[in-house]
Every structure is written in structure tokens, then in C-alpha cells.
A and B are shown apart, each in its own frame.
Chain A
Amino acid sequence: MSEYKLLAPVTARRRGRRGVSPALRGERSVVRGIGVGLLWLVVAISIAALVWMVAQAFRDTRAILDDPWGVPASLDFGNFVRAWTVGDFAVATWNSLLTTVVSSVLTVAIAAPCAYYLSRVDNKLTRSLSLYFILGLGIPAQVILIPLFVMLNKVYLTDSIIGLNLVYIGVSMPFTVFLLTAFFRSLPLEMEEAAALDGTTAFGTFWRITLPLAKGGILTAFILQVISHWNETLLALTLLQSTEKYTLPVALISFVQQQTYSGADWGGLFAGLVMVVLPMLVIYVWLGRRLTEGLTLGMGK
């Protein structure tokens, strides 16, 4: 089919007598030039917006409102201090950090063996199990919101960091299992077979051969979980009620809502935004390539 279609341009050549460049380089057109220009403009605006946001976090509210385009006169951490102390961001940052790290580590630790099994044993049961896990990818969080709240309320796990961690682990299972299964499948079997020949047990081959080989994929899965748990808002907003349990996004929402009564504290707000965004920026700069690869690879199929 593709071959037939590829032939079509040949007939086009007879008609079009314009110079056919044998090489691919050197094709220039006005539209393309505009496109390239626009893209660079987008890049410039994105970076400028990020820099601008960070810069505003160091200015006080009055200065920000007077001249939103200004740059900070000095490095003033007042906004951060105020957000940290008044806005409950200190506790919230700690809660977010704890929840993100604990739930991401556990998610990967629980999903990895499962993905390994599903990728290595191929029978009816594992095929239907894989399908069962994939099912969860299509269920939006608002569906499970209310039943989850009711269930956790019965066992006193609402308004609790432990409960939130459990929920994050459960909700992350489909994606992580899916991603890691694809990753384990891509690993060569030969080393495992050789180890098995040498008398390593099945668990041993997983623990001592496959896991070290899969370090990259597991790290990718872990980082992807860190990002999604750090940013998760709807479940946290529903399950947490008391201020000292808030995670960062929930604290930010409550900070925004307080301002409608107490007047806008844009300085503090910008400081809060920076606290939400900066860790992601650090991770992205540090492990960016791995991330884009993991996300796009995991999406294949």
C-alpha cells in the first residue's frame, strides 16, 4: 500500500518543472521561515515567563502591582519567609515532599515485580492481567473520588498522609505496570537464561540480573511518578481537610482563596508558585532526556 502511494510523486515530477534539489538541504520557503521564527518566539516567551515568575517572587506586592515588568531591586526573601510562615507552606512543602517520595518509591517497588512477571510469563492469565491493569489508564480520577472518600473515611484514613500515600500508590499502578512491562520486554533474555543455567533461582534472576539491567527504566518510572504525585491536586484536595496535612497544591489553593478576603498578596503567591514549579525544573534539567524518552516510549501503543 505504502509503495503504491510513494509512486505518486513520480508522476508529479513530469508536470512540475521546477528545480528539483537532489539533496534535502536548501529547501527554503517563506512560510517555513515564518514558522521557524514563530517557534523561536514561543521558546523565548516561555523562558521569559519562567524567569519573570521567579523574579516577581523576590519583589513585594506593591512593587509588583505598580510595575509588573520590573526586576527585583535586591534579593529579598521576604515573600518566601511570609509564605513559609503565614501561608502554611512550610508544613505543606514537607508533606508534599514526604508523600511524593514515599508513594513514588513504593509504587515502583510494588509495580516492578508485577511488571516483570507479566513481561516474562506469557499465558492466558498474564494476558488478561495486563489488560486488567491497562483498564485503569482510562478511568479519570473524579470517578473514584467519592467512593474512595467514603471507603477511606470508614477506616479513618481520610485527612491522613498515610491514606493519601496509599491512594497515590493504587492510582499509579496502571501506568507504572504498563511502562515497566514494556521496558522489561525490551531487555534481552540471554543473561537471565545464562544465570538460570548457572543455577540461579527465578527470584535471583530477577533480583540480581534483571533489576540491575533495568536501572534506567526504573529510574524513569520513579521520576515520572515523582512528577505526577508532586502535582496531584484533586485527590489531595478531597482527602485532606486540616491545614497541617495539606500538600503544596492544596495549600496554594487555600492561599488563593484566603486572598479574596484579605486582599491580594501577590508577592507571597509568586513565592508559592515558585515552590511548586522549581523542583520540577530542577528534575527536568537534571534528567530531562530520560523523561521525554520515558513519556513518549510509554505512550507507544
Chain B
Amino acid sequence: MSVGLKEPRAGKAALQNPDSRKPVTRKASAQGRQPGSSIDVQRKKLLVPFVGPAFVLYTVLFIVPALGAVWISLHKWAGSGPMKFVGLDNYGRIFRDPLFLSSFGNTLLLLFVVGAAIFILAFAMTLVLRDMAGKKVVRNVIFFPHLINALVFGVLAGFIFNPGGMVNSLLAPLGVTDPPKWLAQDNIFPLIMVTLVCTTTGYFTTILMAGVDRIPPYYYEDCALAGATAFQRLRYVILPLTWDVFGTCAVLWTISSVKIFEIVWVFGGSSGAGVPPTQSWTAAVYTYVNAFSGQSTPAYGAATASAVLSLALISVLVVLLRRAMRRDAVEF
């Protein structure tokens, strides 16, 4: 708390002239009534009542469980009874478990393949939207799916792709008499990927547009005067100036894609025995099923190990992304 005397606002003069720093602060504290610093001193006393509740709730209900997950992942435990310390054994075990590998592989597919598709589409949409008439209407409509629980899309897909459902009835007049079995166990995951692209692109388009809209119009005017082609304008104006927004979006998608659970859980009403077919599992589903499905003895150790690995994946990717996206911020 002693550093408090160097409060930047109280020491504004001090910043301009480093030599005068000491006298100024001493004078301030001697007078003690200077408003800036007195309110600051008072404010500091609010630390416990203001930050305390948020800090405690967050620590107890978020950070402690997160650390607890690491702890549990080092044990063999069925949820009740004794915990047996097994070190990194759980990690070794899940890496030999083909089910985990395919689940984790699916998560990676969502992260990279769906992510790439979303970004390309969202960027293309942003470019078209940038100066089209009625852009606000379009933006508002394509943003809305973000507010809908992914469960809804999963259930609807079951209706639309069902053997006597809408897709097949649309395909029939086109001469497709033998449509693919959309909801066969092997086809569900690709369908989930397509559904996610359709429902998520709008959200990222909205964010990218917020970045593109910030670019002042005189840059475009300059481009027009200089005779830049559309591609050159994209390459030399739009991309460099929205680079940081791209970075933000990439981080957001990394975090949210690893969490994907609901849509897989109900996709196509497939959860016959309460659990979706293993071909469409993601790492999150793997964690949930191993701990709570009630089908076998819960394996809390393996389940948390899978979750901790997802967290590790996020951390590594976020650090890499931040490093890769770090450019000189373009001031404008």
C-alpha cells in the first residue's frame, strides 16, 4: 500500500519533471487535504468490501475447482471411496484410449477445420457487407443465432435430416431417390461441423465488422484516387488495420470451440441410450460421459485428465496466437 503515494494522478506534475517528484508528493502528504489524493486514499480502503466478494466467489467456485481438476487428474478415483495417487498415469491411459483420441481429434477438427471455414466465410461476408445497402438489417439477423442455445440446432437437425424429413423431401424432385443416411453414426459429426459453421459465422462476422467499420473512410478514398484494385485495398488497407480484431476472434473461437458440448449431446435426437454415438464425441463429451453417464464406474481421474488436456490446448494456442498476431499496432 505504500506505493500508493506515487499515485499517477496525484503526481501529474511529477511525471513531467522527474526531479520534482519527491518534494511534490511530500507536500501533498503534508497538506493531506489535497482532494485528488485524499479521495484516492479513501478509495484504497474500499479494497476489501469492493473486491472481496467477487474475489472470494471467483476463487472458491472457479479457481479452486480448476486447481482441483489438476489434483484429481493425478488420482484414480471413482467419485466416492479412497483416492489413489497414480501420478501421470491417467494421462498415459487416456492417450492409449482410442475413444479419447477420436474425441480429442474431433475437438481439433472443430477448432481448426470449422474455425478456418468460419473465418473465411466471416471475412468474405464482412467485405461484402462493408458498404452494402441495408447492412444493419443483415448484421442484426446473422448475429441472432449466437443468442440461441446450441441444443435447438441439434434438435432441429434431427427433424430436418430424418429419413422422411425435409432435406430428403427437397432432394426427391431433383431425382435423388437414394439420399445418404444423414443421421448414420458416421455422418453425424460432419453434419455437426456444417451446422456449427452455419450458426457461428454470423457472430464472428459481427465482430469483424466492428473492426472494419473503425477504418476511416479517407483510406478508401485514397485507394480510389490511387487506383488500387479491390485486392490491393484488401491487402494493404483492410487486413493490416483489422489484424488485431482477427487475433481477438481467433482467441475467442479457440476458447469456445473446446467447450462445445450441447449440440453434440442432442444432435439429431441421436442420444438413444442417453449418450451420443462415440464417433461424434468431443473432448468435453468424453469428460462428461466418463464422470456422469452412469453407464460404467465413473472414472474421475481420466475424465479430469481429458479436461485438463483441453485446458492445456487452449493455453498453448492462446499464447501462440498472441505471439503470432503481435504486430506493430497500426494507429489510426
Contacts of A1 in B (CB 8 A): 328, 330
Q: Do residues A233 and B151 form an inter-chain contact, with CB atoms below 8 A?
A: yes
Which residues 36-92 of B have a CB within 8 angstroms of A? 36, 38-40, 42-47, 49-51, 53-55, 57-58, 60-66, 68-69, 71-72, 79
Min C-beta distance of B256 to chain A, whole Å: 9
| B225 part of interface (Cβ distance < 8 Å) | yes
Residue of B nearest to A15 (CB): B227
**Total A-B pairs, Cβ < 8 A:** 314
Q: Is the interface of B mostly helix, strand, loop or mixed?
A: helix
Q: Do residues A140 and B311 form an inter-chain contact, with CB atoms below 8 A?
A: yes
| A85 part of interface (Cβ distance < 8 Å) | no
| B284 part of interface (Cβ distance < 8 Å) | yes
Which of B147, B155, B258 contacts A273, CB < 8 Å?
Answer: B155
| A30 part of interface (Cβ distance < 8 Å) | no
Q: Do residues A233 and B149 form an inter-chain contact, with CB atoms below 8 A?
A: yes
Residue of B nearest to A167 (CB): B61
Which residues 1-47 of B have a CB within 8 angstroms of A? 3-4, 7-9, 35-36, 38-40, 42-47
Q: Do residues A68 and B226 form an inter-chain contact, with CB atoms below 8 A?
A: no
Q: Do residues A253 and B266 form an inter-chain contact, with CB atoms below 8 A?
A: yes
| B310 part of interface (Cβ distance < 8 Å) | yes
Q: Do residues B57 and A264 form an inter-chain contact, with CB atoms below 8 A?
A: no
**Docked CA distance A296–B212 (Å):** 12
Q: Is the interface of A mostly helix, strand, loop or mixed?
A: helix
Q: Do residues B206 and A193 form an inter-chain contact, with CB atoms below 8 A?
A: no
Contacts of B164 in A (CB 8 A): 65
Count residues on chain A whose CB falls below 8 Å from chain B CBs.
118
Which of A22, A29, A39, A141 contacts B138, CB < 8 Å?
Answer: A39
Count residues on chain B whose CB falls below 8 Å from chain A CBs.
121
Q: Do residues B124 and A35 form an inter-chain contact, with CB atoms below 8 A?
A: yes
Q: Do residues A288 and B140 form an inter-chain contact, with CB atoms below 8 A?
A: yes
**Docked CA distance A275–B127 (Å):** 35
Q: Do residues A299 and B252 form an inter-chain contact, with CB atoms below 8 A?
A: yes
Residue of A nearest to B228 (CB): A9
Contacts of B132 in A (CB 8 A): 36, 39
Contacts of B227 in A (CB 8 A): 9, 12-13, 16, 18, 20
| B180 part of interface (Cβ distance < 8 Å) | no
Min C-beta distance of A61 to chain B, whole Å: 11
Q: Do residues B38 and A169 form an inter-chain contact, with CB atoms below 8 A?
A: no
Which of B53, B125, B315 contacts A110, CB < 8 Å?
Answer: B53
Contacts of B252 in A (CB 8 A): 299
Q: Do residues A151 and B3 form an inter-chain contact, with CB atoms below 8 A?
A: no
Q: Do residues A140 and B284 form an inter-chain contact, with CB atoms below 8 A?
A: yes
**Docked CA distance A118–B46 (Å):** 11
Min C-beta distance of A102 to chain B, whole Å: 14
Min C-beta distance of A148 to chain B, whole Å: 5
**Stretch from A40-48, A75-83, A86-94, A212-220 at the B interface:** A40-48
Min C-beta distance of B80 to chain A, whole Å: 9
Q: A43-B141, A124-B3, A260-B269 are in contact. Are A197 and B57 (CB under 8 A)?
A: no
Q: Do residues A121 and B43 form an inter-chain contact, with CB atoms below 8 A?
A: yes
Q: Do residues A166 and B128 form an inter-chain contact, with CB atoms below 8 A?
A: no
Q: Do residues A6 and B39 form an inter-chain contact, with CB atoms below 8 A?
A: no
Contacts of A27 in B (CB 8 A): 230
| B156 part of interface (Cβ distance < 8 Å) | yes
Which of A166, A257, A292 contacts B274, CB < 8 Å?
Answer: A257
Q: Do residues A24 and B142 form an inter-chain contact, with CB atoms below 8 A?
A: no
| B283 part of interface (Cβ distance < 8 Å) | yes
Residue of A nearest to B262 (CB): A233
Q: Do residues A113 and B50 form an inter-chain contact, with CB atoms below 8 A?
A: yes
Which residues 256-284 of B have a CB within 8 angstroms of A? 258-259, 261-262, 265-266, 269, 271-272, 274, 283-284
| A150 part of interface (Cβ distance < 8 Å) | yes
In the complex, 15 of the A-B residue pairs with CB atoms within 8 angstroms, ordered by the A residue number, are A9-B223, A113-B50, A136-B58, A138-B315, A140-B255, A146-B300, A146-B303, A169-B57, A238-B292, A253-B271, A256-B155, A266-B159, A292-B143, A296-B210, A301-B244
Please name 17 further chain A to chain B contacts, defined as beta carbons within 8 Å, in addition to the given A117-B51, A145-B307, A233-B265, sorted by A numbering: A9-B233, A13-B227, A39-B129, A50-B144, A65-B164, A110-B54, A140-B259, A147-B68, A174-B58, A201-B42, A203-B46, A227-B147, A237-B288, A249-B149, A249-B262, A273-B155, A277-B149
